[in-house]
Structure 1
Amino acid sequence: MLRAGIVGLPNVGKSTLFNALVANAKAQAANFPFCTIEPNVGVVAVPDERLAVLAELSHSEQIVPTRIEFVDIAGLVKGASQGEGLGNQFLAHIRQVDAIVQVVRCFEDDDIIHVSGSVDPVRDIEIVNLELALADLAQIERRMERTRKQARTSKEAQFELTVLEKLSAALNAGTSVRQVPLSEEETVVIRPLDLLTAKPLIYAANVAEDELATGNVLVEQVRAIADQEKAKVVVISAQVEAELVELPPEERTDYLAALGVKEGGLQSLIRATYDLLGLRTYLTTGPKETRAWTIRAGMLAPQAAGVIHSDFEKGFIRAETIAYADLVKAGSMQAAREQGLVRSEGKEYVVQEGDVLLFRFNI
């Protein structure tokens, strides 16, 4: 399951956003730092309107969406990499996620205390990113000490040392690991380190309700930083997300439309995360269930089958494939077969977004 860690300074709206995203989470949201000490974890169904349509066509008994896990990690502060504010504990939690969602406060509110005394997204981002970089530097330096000894007799260690020295120089120059061009071999070498600044990053610019559609000057400051860092920006409002939770599902669309937006923060964050990580969704449907499956872009049919069960990949014969839009237009799988819309694809087929698949295999 995809894991996204929600990080940021204290009192920027992390826990409020987390509670709203998972709806039934029990994270506290209070007006003081370090309210969240242990990471709160919530599993969220990924919204996908295609599932209900396919379930109706197939008369499915149930719908099973793909899911994403959000981890609410306590607020970081200056000095976190040296243990300030329980920083080492919090940084360890971040190493376990696939992507980082850094919540940045882009709203003014005299009733909500800012840990630094004023609202300044550029400063806040610099504080958090510096602590992540310092934590990476400390880890790289420890690894380099061990690798230097091995490099006397090992070519593999010599290569690793070269990569580590490159990353150390970049971090010292203020460049994140994700911005450093690395070959596939170099990427493999550093993967076990789980470097924080190597993880895909999304900035969630948290704005007031009346600025959700338009953004503001502070949001533009965040965008400028993201453009330099190979990161994405999603404009969200933790306040709006909290209010959406209280509304019946049928009223949420009208509420968002009144604010001038088409979707809530959950959809925006998930879409950005999938895009950043290069993820795709394929679908399976039948009388028992209609289900969504998450794969990496470029996956071949046998690998996609293996997401369901490893035996499917081992015994893969072929994949019966149809595009979602073609199936809906045909009205049923039987009609689609009669119209020649269902294709038989082999082991070299690259699964596409929205493919509806039926795998044939031997065990």
Structure 2
Amino acid sequence: MPDIRLDKLVSISNSKKKINTTISFVDIAGLVKGASKGEGLGNKFLSHIREVDAIIHMIRCFDSDDIQNVNPNVDPIRDLEIIETEMKLADLESIQKRLDKKNKKNSTEDEINILEAAKNCINNDGNMEVLHENYSKNELHKIGLLSTKPKLYVCNVDEKSITKGNNYTELFTSKFGTKNTLLISADIENQINQLENEEKKNYMKMINLQETGLSTLIKKGYELLELETFFTSGPEESRAWTVPVNCKAPSAAGTIHTDFEKGFIRAETVSYEEFIKNNGWLNSKK
């Protein structure tokens, strides 16, 4: 994960190595109507998506005669609703199996309550977000339903729509909101990836783009998953680590090594801003 803060730490500490934190994106083939019944790549898609922590929907919001579409026209709302419906149907099948009398004994009372609530939502065409109001993120994560996973919506636009959007994105955000919706142009990202650093900066400046779509997506992904970064820095290496927001010091230490958490006594820390301001650890401790 690109992070200019880590670059500055490497410079100040004169580190031999720089190790960025990582976030993995799994590119899964598109979903078609009937996927929950095995149409297209449906079953394979659904098995892959069950393993992820969050779902990013890449929604087409541009016109092009060069890009084939299984549907006769561009309709971002329809495309997303197809995917959401198929995930709900797959969840419903999973829920019914888990609530079957012979399988019910494998679930706790709390899990059964959540499954029943989810089943009612799906059968009544309800908003699955209601579950997030009644149950914790951890409880829903343990249940492992597709339709309750955190979601980001990426409106894939053409170059001229990257800053202000277009009619398709306006239509989409009028229904799904802007909080977890990003405008990204896959075409622009492809061009950026083929350029050297200086050319990349000039091109982004020319099209009035402050940062790449990938960087924006990573930051939003961290926010969605409620993650944050802390750093360790010294002559040998400067490294970024990922932990949950509001993680306690012993747990953060355990991210570095499990023995650190077991034998944790105390940790000396300094804010990134102070470290930079004082040009390193020694001056920051004074």
Question: Structure 2-normalised TM-score?
Answer: 0.94
* Partner-residue secondary structure (3-state), 1:219: helix
Aligned residue number for residue 118 of structure 1 = 73
Matching residue of 2:115:
164
Partner residue, 2:283: 335
Give the secondary-structure state (helix, strand or coil) at the position aligned to 2:267.
Answer: strand
**2:235 corresponds to:** 287
Q: How far apart, CA to CA, are the structure 1 residues paired with 2:222 and 2:102?
A: 35
- The 2-side partners of 1:149 and 1:314 are apart by 36
Secondary structure of the structure 2 residue equivalent to 1:280? strand
2:29 maps to what in 1? 74
Task: Name the SS of the counterpart of 2:94 in structure 1.
Answer: helix
Match of 2:194 in 1: 246
Summarize the Cα distance change of 1:100–1:62 in structure 2 as closer, same or farther, 3 Å threshold: same
Match for residue 257 of structure 2?
309
Is 1:219 matched with 2:169? Answer: yes
AA in 2 matched with 1:279? L
When structure 1 is superposed on structure 2, of 211-220 and 46-55 the one drifting more is: 211-220
User: What is the CA-CA distance between 1:221 and the residue it aligns to?
Assistant: 2.3
Counterparts of 1:261 and 1:179, CA distance in 2: 36
Match of 1:105 among 60, 69, 75: 60
Distance 1:94 1:306 in 2: 28
Amino acid at match of 1:167: A
- Structure 1 SS opposite 2:240: strand
After the TM superposition, which residues 1-363 of structure 1 pair with which residues of structure 2 at under 5 Å, given as runs?
46-146=1-101, 150=105, 157-180=108-131, 181-184=133-136, 188=139, 191-227=141-177, 232-338=180-286
Deviation at 1:214, TM superposition (A): 1.3
Q: Answer yes or no: is the 8 Å Cα contact 1:133–1:176 preserved in 2.
A: no
1 CA distance for matches of 2:116 and 2:104? 15
Residues 288 and 123 of structure 1, relative CA distance in 2, 3 Å threshold: same
Instruction: Give SS of 1:72's match.
Output: coil
Structure 1, unaligned stretches of length 5 or more?
1-45, 339-363
Name the aligned partner's letter for residue 147 of structure 2: T
**Separation in structure 1 between the aligned mates of residue 13 and residue 28 of structure 2, nearest angstrom:** 41
User: Do the aligned partners of 2:31 and 2:83 also contact (CA within 8 Å) in 1?
Assistant: yes
1:80-118 Cα deviation digits (max 9, x unpaired): 000000311110000011111100000000121111011
Q: 1:93 to 1:50 in 2, by over 3 A?
A: same
Give 1:333 shift: 1.3
* SS of equivalent residue, structure 2 residue 241: strand
- CA positional deviation for 1:147: 6.6
- One-letter amino acid of the counterpart of residue 331, structure 1: N
- What's the CA shift for 1:328? 0.6
Distance 1:157 1:329 in 2: 52
3-state SS of 2:57 partner: strand
3-state SS in 2 of match to 1:261: coil
Q: In structure 2, what is the Cα distance between the partners aligned to 1:150 and 1:237? A: 48
Residues 35-65 of structure 1, C-alpha deviations (whole Å, 9 max, x = no match): xxxxxxxxxxx11001111111101001100
Distance 2:59 2:218 in 1: 17
Contact persistence 2:156–2:183 (CA under 8 A): yes
Quick one: which amino acid aligns to residue 105 of structure 1? R
> For the aligned residues, what is the CA RMSD?
2.0
Residue 71 of structure 1 aligns to a residue whose secondary structure is coil
- Rounded to whole Å, the distance in 2 between the matches of 1:240 and 1:308 is 37
Asked if 1 retains the 8 angstrom alpha-carbon contact of 2:61 and 2:169, the reply is yes
- Please state how far the C-alpha of 1:176 moved relative to its aligned partner: 4.9
**Alpha-carbon distance between aligned partners in 1 of 2:103 and 2:272, rounded to the nearest angstrom:** 54
CA distance in 1, matches of 2:240, 2:109: 44
Hey, what's the Cα distance between the residues in 2 that align with 1:241 and 1:256? 10
- Given the superposition, is the C-alpha separation of residues 285 and 149 from structure 1 closer, same or farther in structure 2, using an over 3 Å criterion? closer
Counterpart of 2:63 in 1: which secondary structure? coil
Secondary structure class of the residue paired with 2:269? strand
Higher relative contact order (CA 8 A, sep 6+): 2
Q: Secondary structure at the match of 2:26?
A: strand
Flag the 1:312–1:148 CA change in 2: closer, same or farther, 3 A.
Answer: closer
Amino acid at match of 1:297: V
* 1:70 aligned counterpart, secondary structure: coil
Distance, in Å, in 2 between the alignment partners of 1:149 and 1:326 is: 54
